[in-house]
Structure 1
Amino acid sequence: MQENLRETVRIIGKGKTKQHAVNAALSQVQRQVMAKYPSAMILRIEPRDVAILTATEKRYKETFFFFLFPRIRHEFEVELEIALELAVMHIEKVNFNAEDYTKNKLVKKFAKG
Structure 2
Amino acid sequence: MMLTKEVHVEVTSSGQSKEQAIGLALNQVQKKLVKDNSQIIIRIEPLSVGVIEAKEIIYTERFLFFFFPRERRKYEYKLDIKVSVSMLNVDEIQHETHVQKNNIPEFIKYKVKKVR
TM-score of the alignment, normalized to the shorter chain, above 0.5 = yes
User: Which letter maps to 2:113?
Assistant: F
Quick check: 1:44 aligned with 2:43?
yes
CA RMSD of aligned residues (A): 2.5
The alignment partner of 2:96 has SS state of coil
Which 10-residue stretch deviates more, 89-98 or 20-29?
A: 89-98
CA 1:88–1:101 in 2, change beyond 3 Å: closer, same or farther?
farther
1:45-95 superposed Cα distances (whole Å, 9 cap, x missing partner): 111111111111101111111101111111001111011111111223323
- Offset of residue 19 of structure 1: 0.3
Q: Higher mean Cα deviation, 94-103 or 25-34?
A: 94-103
Aligned equivalents of 2:75, 2:101: Cα separation in 1: 58
Q: Cα 1:94–1:64, aligned 2, differ >3 Å: closer, same or farther?
A: same
Unaligned runs of 5+ in 1: none
> What percentage of aligned pairs have identical amino acids?
28
Q: Displacement of 1:112 after TM fit? A: 8.2
Q: CA deviation at 1:107?
A: 2.2
Which residue does the alignment assign to 1:21?
21
Residues 3-22 of structure 1 aligned to structure 2 (within 5 Å):
3-22=3-22
**C-alpha offsets along residues 7-54 of structure 1, whole Å, 9 cap, x if unaligned?**
0000011110000010010000100111110x2110111111111111
Taking structure 1 as reference, are residues 98 and 112 closer, same or farther at Cα in structure 2, changes over 3 Å only? farther
TM-score (norm 2): 0.83
Alignment of 1:1-113 (within 5 A): 1-37=1-37, 39-99=38-98, 100=100, 107=109, 110=113, 113=116
